[in-house]
Amino acid sequence: MNASRYYSWVVMDIENWGGRPGSAQARMQQALRGVVARALSACSVEGADVRRTSRGDGVILGLSTEIAKETITGPLFKSLNRELRLYDDECPPDEVMRLRIALHAGDAHDGGDEWAGKPVNLACRLVDSEILHRVLAAASTAVLATIVSDDWYDAVLREGWADPVGFDPVVPNLKDYDGGAWIRVPGHLHPPGLRPSDVPGEQQEAAPHAEASVPGNGPVISIGGNVGRDVIGGNSTVVNYGHSAEPRRGGSW
């Protein structure tokens, strides 16, 4: 008899996986298992139901309702960020690990370490999204970038159960999903690498302002508020998303 269970889905992918030798990939898979285990232990969830399956270039975690979403959004991600930095400080240069991570929740067929269902499929599509790839690539000093679904944001961050600072809304443009998402990069007040077309409701508003320029730099794209700076195509481009684009200070995760 088929059974379904409600899980919080945490999907992780390792950046630049395909170009590494098989021996390095095997060591990195083992290292990721250790990073995840230590991060979970630091959040005191050892006795909770945590399911895991490998994606080759990453991992899918199915976390039971015993683990609060605010624990996943806050303490777990702080621990993952810390453990990744500790690993990267000691590993060989060609095995440095940076992660794209997606969060969503919902029911899926409970097949032990294998799952089927729209919620886990959406989490996998979010982590594979072009926008998350681009944001992490632009965040050269970060070790992870996080994307959460609209549903996750509304249930956890909008309600104040976890700190929403640093999460910006984006349009992920995914197959069979017309909802939005939110991205955060530790150490940044706002995710780097975003384009005007990534911002909900701003795609058409950006065009009338695109003709302005700064001497010696790329075009200014003004969407209201303070002006931040991004690098697109090798040119320094000023992109204004309605807030400061300065990185977060004080060593915040």
**pLDDT tens per residue, range 49-99:** 888 888 778 999 999 998 999 999 999 999 999 999 999 999 999 999 999
Q: Considering the domain boundaries, does residue 124 fall inside one?
A: yes
The predicted pLDDT at position 88 comes to: 96
Q: Considering the domain boundaries, does residue 251 fall inside one?
A: no
The predicted pLDDT at position 206 comes to: 43
pLDDT band (50, 70, 90) for residue 253: low
Tokens at 40, concatenated: 């979970």
Task: Tell which residue, 102, 98, 145, has the closest CA to residue 121.
Answer: 102
The predicted pLDDT at position 112 comes to: 64
Domain, as residue range, for 130: 4-194
- Residue 110, pLDDT > 60, answer yes
- Residue 218, pLDDT > 90, answer no
Give the three-state DSSP class for 154: helix
CA atoms of 141 and 171, how far apart (whole Å): 24
Among residues 179, 194, 209, the one where a domain terminates is 194
Task: Tell which residue, 54, 55, 75, 51, has the closest CA to residue 63.
Answer: 51
- Residue 217, pLDDT > 50, answer no
Task: Tell which residue, 228, 150, 217, has the closest CA to residue 188.
Answer: 228
The predicted pLDDT at position 3 comes to: 78
Residues 63 and 110 in one domain: yes
User: Domain tally for the chain?
Assistant: 2
The predicted pLDDT at position 114 comes to: 67
